[in-house]
Chains A and B, each alone.
Chain A
Amino acid sequence: MPLRAKVASSVSRTAAALSRAAGRGDGSVIGGWIGLKIDPELLAHLAAGRAIALVSGTNGKTTTTRLATAAVGVLGKVATNSFGANMPTGHTSALAKAGSTPYAVLEVDEHYLAQVLDATDAHVVALLNLSRDQLDRAREVAMMAQLWRAALIRHPDLRVIANADDPMVVWAATPPTNHDPRITPPKVVWFSAGQRWHDDSWVCPECGSTIARQDNQWWCTGCPLRRPQPQWSVEDDGVIDPTGAWHKVQLQLPGTVNLGNAATALAVAAEFGVRPVDAVLQLSSVTSIAGRYAQVERDGRLIRLLLAKNPASWLEAFDMADEAPTLLSINARDPDGLDTSWLFDVDFSPLRGRQVLITGDRAFDLAVRLDVNNVPFQHVRSFTEAIQSVPSGRLEVIANYTAFQDIRAELDRVL
């Protein structure tokens, strides 16, 4: 590593430690920020010599990164950005902090995928899904797919692990028909994890025709784009690998969506030579992820925290949650996006019949939505009031990003 990069890396670690010691944060961003100021190439220097997998998509990337890190861990030490700090500053911090590890699995914000691919020269990238998320500032779904597509073609040696069920991802992972024939596009391994959310992929990104769906298949009615045959898929409570062998997956995380994330993690690990039969045993070691899925007991209530950031992840959260009293909390601060319109893209009817409580900065937006959806609810002003309003036993909490952090803080930073 060049001297400048060594200094930058060292200062980065120190800054992160100072930030933690000062109680200013977990240090997962500030260290990388300072390091990159000293050496703009620091991420590339820190990445050199490591086998790196990147995980990107709108939903499930933090969980999949944790699962893949556990699976690759069969081989040795794995660096990862486990705090969900998923932009280049976070990657830089994570690699600097980890020291020299043979492997790294990094969660990447979908907007930064091209930049991080270029900087890290990653071996593997897992593309999970693309759907609407914070549209008041994020790029359009189709434009994001286009950016991914342009980035992937620049890395012919990359191995792409992509979701066969998401037309936007399939299109992004498929080389454009007019691409330079002298360039071999990266090889793609397809996985199927199922997809509940379809509302951002009714129109073919290639030709603008309608995308038809039947059972788990989809195809464009105007061009050859269609669902590829997946090599990895979910069946019952297990994962089928490319040889056709079925592996039982025992997760500490709820919901079928996490089985899909497990399949993706196994596919990532397989690219590093980890056999599914070995990797699958590691997956059950993952319990909660930065508070997500964490269970906490308070005043006789067994509270479980679920994060839902956008319409697709709300649908998954309803599937994960038990038939129990449920608290919904909505904010619209900067990290959440200022716009609450997406509430009308979510069908809350699965909550009918459960005791529903609502809170958060933007509880009234949610109240209007639930009223139109014919879901009875009760408004509470605080998390404490919510706990007092439900009987002892299970309380499911579903919240968007800053609302989730608020509740986590009230529960003393559960991990």
Chain B
Amino acid sequence: MFSDSLRIVWVYPDLLSTYGDRGNALILASRAQRRGYPVEVLEVRSDQPLPATADIYLVGGGEDGPQALGAQRLIADGGLHRAVAQGSVVFGVCAGYQILGSSFFAKGTKYAGLELLDLSSDRGPSRAIGELAGTIDPRLDLPPLSGFENHGGRTHLGPEVSPLAQLTAGIGNDTRTEGAWRGKLLGTYSHGPALARNPALADLLLRWAVGVNQLPPLDDTWSNRLRAERHAAVAAAARP
């Protein structure tokens, strides 16, 4: 685990990369480096073995075909399971979030997931596209979630996981809750560069990885302005 440098793995950018998923790796690396942590970002393609000893694994969004293929290759590879057993942090976004559960639907077919989180996904009546906002689980002690969602899935949480947030806007898992977490595993429908709007969530993943309760503050002027603007836009849209 975390020793001399922080190792971040972007899992299968050849399959699980749409909507600026690269952003989460860039943001985590940048926030760690600005605190003086040396960082290594590894982009591991789906034809390569997944190293099991990295600190943070990012599983991004993908179209139906690549999502199914990505899940099959991750199950066959076994690296992510070994990493989780050793206490690594996993952050799943959109299709990557669904993959962490026990099953999901792609192109009308049910596929097995990685069973790392106690949840399953199926198809909703309509595609969820738009702003997402919610109050994050108080145990995580984070400011409200802000994001943009674009997915056709609905996700049902089992008793082993907790919702990441209670929604104030958007569809998320089921129109009431959004995302899920357990231990150092966390998933969200807030797609693409989800951490751009949620620097405190980025820092939570970094704290889990590094094993500290606090990190030195950074200048988050622009993230905060962006968050304020997006929350205001959501509030304005909600007014009759």
Contact = CB atoms under 8 A, between A and B. Distances in A.
Interface of A: 132, 135-137, 140, 142, 199, 202-203, 208-210, 221, 338-345, 364-365, 367-369, 371-374
Contact of B22 (A140, A344, A365, A367): A344
Contacts of A342: 19-20
A365 B196 contact: yes
B148 A338 contact: yes
A140 B61 CA distance: 13
Contact of A344 (B14, B20, B65, B130): B20
A203 B15 contact: yes
A66 to B, nearest CB: 31
A258 to B, nearest CB: 27
A234 to B, nearest CB: 28
4 nearest CB pairs, A to B: A344-B23, A341-B192, A344-B20, A341-B20
A342 B18 CA distance: 8
Contact of B222 (A209, A364, A374): A364
Contacts of A364: 222, 225-226, 229
B150 A135 contact: yes
Contact of A140 (B63, B130, B193): B63
Which of B13, B17, B130, B193 has the most A CB atoms < 10 Å from its CB?
B193
A345 B45 CA distance: 17
B45 A210 contact: yes
Nearest to A370: B222
A210 B48 CA distance: 11
Contacts of A136: 129, 148, 150
**Interface range on chain B: under 10, 10 to 19, 20 to 34, or 35 or more?**
20 to 34
Interface in B156-201: 191-193, 196-197
Given A343-B20, A345-B20, A338 B222 contact: no
A368 B198 CA distance: 11
Interface of B: 13-15, 17-23, 26-27, 30, 45-47, 63, 65-66, 69, 129-130, 148, 150, 191-193, 196-197, 222-223, 225-226, 229
A182 to B, nearest CB: 30
A203 B19 contact: no
11 contacts: A135-B19, A136-B150, A140-B63, A142-B63, A208-B69, A341-B148, A341-B193, A364-B226, A367-B225, A369-B23, A373-B26
A341 B222 contact: no
Nearest to B24: A344
Contacts of B18: 132, 135
Nearest to A311: B20
Contacts of B226: 364-365, 367-368
Contact of A142 (B20, B65, B196, B197): B65
B150 to A, nearest CB: 5
Contacts of A368: 196-197, 222-223, 226
B51 to A, nearest CB: 18
Contacts of B22: 344-345
Nearest to A202: B14
A202 B14 CA distance: 6
Given A344-B193, A369-B196, A372-B26, A339 B150 contact: yes
